[in-house]
A and B are shown apart, each in its own frame.
Chain A
Amino acid sequence: MTISGGSQPSADVLIVGGGVAGIAAAQALADRGLDVLLVEKQRRLGGKAAELACMATQQCRRCSACLLEDAIQALQGTRSVRIRLGTVVEEASRTGDTFQITVGPAKDVDTRVTPLHGVTPKSQERWKVSGVILCTGFDVFDASTRPFLGYGRSKDVITTLELDHILARNGDRGWDEGSGPPSKVAFVQCVGSRERKAGRGYCSQVCCSVSLRLAGKLAFLHPEMEIVVHYIDLQLQPRSVRSYHASLTKKVVFQQGVPGEIITPNEGGVIIRSVAEDGTAVEPVSFDKAVLAVGMVPSKETQKLGDMFGLKGGRFGFVSAGAPPVLAAGTCVFPRDIPGSIDDARDAADRLIRAISGNKEVAHG
């Protein structure tokens, strides 16, 4: 809690990143009586989950994006969490059990947003904290680095995230200005994931369920739409996704094998070329839109902060989960879905609480 009288403000724990993981960690710490400083670069809480649309058809499809709003609401009533928005950690140094942290206004953030959920300091602030949890999230894989997929060349090749935005923005109807919804849509899985040669041999964990829900939502909104999902192998987890998949197989075609190339003709639409297992070319198929299921990659910020706090040994460029007093949680450690990030963050908070209160007991005893 901030101490008045000119002395330096202090908190028990610094959380970097105000996405689902950061919010969950802050809440878990505050619920057990710790003071938290939550620093978020954007001027709003929520991170990437805030950009997602609801995937419900008639029924909830358990995409869990709405859990974010619940979590933000709950955090509002938490007295011991100080939220700094539009703010970044500039410097950190450690002396014994204490970290000296300098936070300051972030550059290049959207300043039109009113920071309703926290305070945006105009100048640097120096804080003392005893523990740190990094919840800096992930970056979306840049699909334009794979030119053969046609992303960036044509408006008809979009990512799953962009499709999410379309569905969120336009409610349940309308696509491009002036044109109706496409009649043939192809999903392409594992874009940027499971690329062993590029050093990313991991599965991004969420894209199969993301595409499945998107395909299901499209099929629900536009029953006439032809939808094909091209996949390497479908990861039907959590278990609710498995039953959803079973119910979707009548409306959506699931086709094994991802395309070798997506051709983007000038007149619009896409042509998908694939190669069969035996090496022979399969007849190319035309679609109106191709949706690339882009994976999660480690964010640049995470690497920088990991270095700042000495977190090493992560896999594939992610940071390791660390050990108290410096921990990382959520998708900066490894790809996870929303409930998985929340649980992970709560668990990290618990580890830190037990370490810090253990130290306190030692100190008091």
Chain B
Amino acid sequence: MAEMQKIGVLYSNSVGGRPLNVDFKKLEKLIAGDGGSFAYYGEVPDLLVEGSEGRLAEVMKSRGLDGIVLAAGSARTLGERLPILAPGVGREQVTFVNILDHCTGAHEDAAVRERKACALVRMGLARQRVMSTIEKDKLEVFDAVAVVGAGPAGLSAASWLADRGRKVVLLESGNGLGGMASCEKDVAALISKVEASDAVEVLKEARIEEVRGNKGSFTLSIVKQGGKRVEREVGAIVVSTGLAYPPGNEEEPWISYAKLDKRRREAPGDLPENLGFIADPEVVGELVAQHAITVATGLAADHGKHSFIFMGDVPVRGESGQSNYEAALMAGVRFFRPDARGVKVEVKDAKAIVKGLDIILKQDFAITCDLIVTGERPRVSDGSRQAAEVLRLAVEDDAFLQPGNITYLPTYTTRQGVLIAGAAGTEAPTPLAMRGGRLAAIEADAILGEGTISIGAGDVEIDQAACAACLTCFRICPVGAIGVSVDRKVPRISDVDCRDCGICAAACPQRAIKNFLTPELAILEMGRACLKPAPPDGPVVLALCCARSGYAAADAAGELGLPIPENVRVARVPCAGIVSTNVIFGLLNLGVDRVMVVGCPIDNCQNKHGSNLARRWVETCRDLIANLGGDANSVSFHPIASNMPHLFAQRAAEAARRGKDDSRRPS
């Protein structure tokens, strides 16, 4: 197959108006002379000028090329613009060689520039030769969304989706909608809207018992009111299970928020006149403190109650904090700011007297309240825990469900097709929870799309004979694409959920995951190609850079004109996590003197565990090399984010420097 492919090298003399200053005519001979083979070599004029769209595709078509190496600018600019520059040309058909940044930007000497360009184009050719075209299949998706939890986030998601004409199954574990915010005006409006909507099926006292299927085609077994079981088919799931009401003292005159809300919903008139709220944010957390202000304001404004709030600091963070505070003052809520000793409560004749010293007024106060509302720090709800278990979502250390990894923000979870919204994910006051619901709804709507979903050709599979069922792949998959069949305890990869990052294949100790090995092979081929033309000085350093972090930093280094040594040859890899010990030793065997693996900082990898795996593999290699008496520094891992070009240049210079043992590697 590889021999059949016609690969061309296309170059551009300038990118975005910036000249590349490389003699491409001369380069053609250099590349060919070093054994690089291509079916066509020619120029495409400036690629970033408006109106240049389609030129690339024209050349490919007229020359009958299967794949091309584009020697011009970065994959980050040109690659992403491929659908515009060359409509109809697949991502897999093009390898980008960034002459602009890695040669023009980094080297002043024309001879060095050309040698580097030659090596990079040869590496590009090697890579393109192994990449095969991946065809996409279409799969039908179910035209409904399940929203789990009917608090502010869930209601706003359901309402958004209903407006958009989607069918919604809204599950609520309790028997009322609105969650902790049921008495707030915006939320009350959403409740009536959702209840009146034909598009939303509300299931109360319901929970998901089992989930089968994948993104686009989930089947949910739901236990609803009275223990009845129903099944629903949905394309996406929004988890908005929120927080539990903060637990509090229930013995009157003490009352918890849950009980107060219940009484307010049922018979607001029966509530007594004077209500005190003890809610110091330092003790109960910002969320409960804000909740206290909202509830106190509602009772004062809508039901004419006297509300007193006792808190040392008023939480005024964010616009909602600021405006809630002002609304409270407008409604006549009285704030007392007790000093560090807090307040003392004396109960007398079923009434509470709250005493303390106000630091603002600098005087003592004693306020008699009919009810005293208290609550502890909020807990993640049982619903969240249960949903996480059934849906196989990772739970963070602090029990929230929003993965700490920022590349998952704001709605993604560790499972494809399952989105997170509101306070189940992270501490979110009502307005932010509602926004979270809308953002999750937008994502869910995109998954449902026009009714079909594009998937890979489905050739990724686990060799069942080789699999030892260690479940490493199951644990490290960043998107929950690997499931374990109950009967045979063997993992299976879902074509729909898999995003082809390939770290499972690299991590599999049995090498049992097939068809992910293409990127590995491509790296080895690039390793072979990067050796020529040999730099006149120093060891050949292959920098394998994560497309998201290290490669972007390397590009930016060139853009800034930072010196990258000639003997450092930068190659782009989809994720540092695929550079396993096999790959590293393979490269050293081919004659590469040093391997730099450049990935995201730990915990920042979009494939979650990729950078951590990369670091571990590098450490393993270093240990082995050191034990064999070699130079452990011939292999190194560098976490370098996309915005750290100077750090990249520095590390590249270090790696390129001649070591004491010159460029010898362990034999």
What is A's interface to B at a CB cutoff of 8 Å?
A: 28, 31, 50, 52-54, 56-60, 62, 64-70, 72-77, 79, 114-117, 119, 168-172, 202-203, 205, 233, 235, 237-240, 243, 315, 333-334, 339, 342-344, 346-347, 350, 354
Contact = CB atoms under 8 A, between A and B. Distances in A.
Q: Is the interface on chain B under 10, 10 to 19, 20 to 34, or 35 or more residues?
A: 35 or more
Interface string B638-652: 011111101101110
Contacts of A70: 407, 548, 606, 642
A364 B390 CA distance: 45
Interface string B397-424: 1101000111101100000000000000
11 contacts: A56-B604, A56-B639, A66-B549, A67-B409, A70-B548, A70-B642, A77-B81, A202-B316, A239-B427, A334-B318, A343-B436
A66 B439 contact: no
Contacts of A117: 77
Most buried by A among B548, B601, B640: B601
A347 B640 CA distance: 31
Nearest to B320: A334
A237 B647 CA distance: 29
Contacts of A57: 601
Interface in B331-366: none
B555 to A, nearest CB: 10
Given A171-B646, A203-B316, A343-B439, A58 B601 contact: yes
A238 B425 CA distance: 12
B317 A235 contact: yes
Given A343-B439, A354-B163, A77 B82 contact: yes
B601 A56 contact: yes
B439 A240 contact: no
Contact of B73 (A54, A116, A168, A339): A116
A79 B87 CA distance: 10
B495 interface: no
Contact of B601 (A54, A75, A119): A54
Given A76-B81, A237-B286, A243-B398, A66 B442 contact: no
Contacts of A344: 435
B313 interface: yes
Nearest to B49: A119
Nearest to A174: B650
Contacts of B435: 343-344, 347
A203 B325 CA distance: 14
B442 to A, nearest CB: 6
Given A73-B76, A116-B48, A169-B646, A339 B406 contact: yes
Contact of B80 (A56, A77, A170): A77
Interface in B437-495: 438-439, 442, 446
A53 B553 CA distance: 12
A115 B16 contact: yes
B439 A347 contact: yes
A168 B644 contact: yes
B17 interface: yes
B646 A60 contact: no
A170 B426 CA distance: 35
A350 B76 contact: no
A66 B603 CA distance: 13
Contacts of B15: 116
A61 B640 CA distance: 13
Given A60-B406, A169-B646, A239-B400, A74 B80 contact: yes
Contacts of A240: 404
Contacts of B604: 56, 60, 66
Contacts of B81: 76-77
A119 B18 CA distance: 13
B76 A76 contact: yes
A62 B647 CA distance: 19
B409 A119 contact: no
A60 B405 contact: yes
Closest A-B pairs by Cβ, 7 of them: A76-B80, A56-B601, A60-B604, A54-B641, A171-B647, A69-B642, A77-B80
Contacts of B73: 116
Contacts of A69: 76, 548, 552, 642-643
A47 B427 CA distance: 28
Contacts of A333: 319
A170 B436 CA distance: 38
A347 B81 CA distance: 25
Contacts of A114: 16-18
Given A77-B83, A77-B84, A170 B646 contact: yes
A251 B148 CA distance: 42
B244 interface: no
Interface in B590-606: 600-604, 606
Given A202-B316, A343-B435, A343-B436, 4 more contacts: A65-B643, A237-B317, A237-B427, A240-B404
Given A66-B549, A346-B442, A347-B439, A171 B650 contact: yes
A48 to B, nearest CB: 12
Interface string B379-402: 000000000000000000110100
A243 B399 CA distance: 13
Contacts of B80: 73-77
B603 A59 contact: yes
Nearest to B83: A77
Nearest to A172: B647
Residue in A77, A243, A339 whose Cβ sees the most chain B Cβ within 10 Å: A77
A159 B552 CA distance: 27
A64 B603 contact: no
A358 B404 CA distance: 37
Contact of A31 (B438, B446, B600, B647): B446
A26 B267 CA distance: 48
Given A54-B641, A202-B322, A346-B439, A76 B77 contact: yes
Contacts of B643: 50, 52-54, 65-66, 68-69, 168
B404 A62 contact: yes
A235 B321 CA distance: 13
